[in-house]
Amino acid sequence: MNPIKATVYYLIAFFIQPILINLFGIESSAANLVLCVGLVMCLFYGDRDNAYIFVIAFIFALLQDVMYSYYLGVNAAAIIISMLLVFVIKYFFNLENPISILILSAEGTIVYNLVIWIIYHFGGSPYSFLVYLKHLPYNYIFMVIAVGACYFIMKKFRKKLKTDFLR
């Protein structure tokens, strides 16, 4: 995948995000599409492509912080940490199996929300860990659906490479 195509995927996810929250959000909780696209790109593309995938994800996560967040960089740090963890542990899973994708999306969701809560907690936020746990089931359901949709859409449109490990 070239950087322009990756940027288009992230741009679409960035603009669909507020629509998704307004239409399908439960208790102001919905899937973070930039995280979904980042997780799926970490799953699909090899080591050669991951450098700019992380950079583009970081830029769009910072844009999300500028547009929707109280603090700059928290969302970006959480997305990058989640993507790095998925990138490291993806080699232990069979990525053709949908159950593996569910497990990796659950890991990405939990790590993303946990990193955000930790940063906010040390930044002086009054929210307790129970508030984090209260929103986690809704967030998990939305993320699994969104990562699954992104996975099957990107799987359909990607080209088969000789060095691709998902053949």
Name the residue with higher pLDDT: 54 or 48: 54
**Residue 132 domain flag:** yes
- Judged against a pLDDT cut of 60, whether residue 51 lies above it is answered with yes
Whole-number Å distance between alpha carbons of 124 and 16:
31
Report residue 70 as tokens: 């109280």
Whether 163 is covered by a domain: the verdict is no
Asked if the structure places residue 162 within a domain, the reply is no
Whole-model pTM: value is 0.85
- On whether residue 41 sits in a domain, the answer given is yes
Residue 166 lies in a domain: no
Q: How confident is the model at residue 160 (pLDDT cuts 50, 70, 90)?
A: low
What number of CA atoms fall less than 13 Å from residue 132's CA on the CB side?
A: 18
pLDDT in tens, 62-104: 999 998 888 899 999 999 999 999 888 888 888 778 888 888 8
Is 43 domain-assigned? yes
Question: Phi and psi (nearest 5°) for 26?
Answer: -115, 120
Give domain status of residue 49, yes or no. yes
Q: What is the pLDDT of residues 118-154, one digit of tens each?
A: 998 898 888 888 887 887 888 888 888 888 888 888 8
Using DSSP, state whether 155 is helix, strand or coil. helix
Residue 40 domain-assigned?
yes
Judge whether 50 and 30 are in contact, CB under 8 Å.
Answer: no
Q: How many domains does the chain have?
A: 1
Show the domain range for 93.
Answer: 3-157
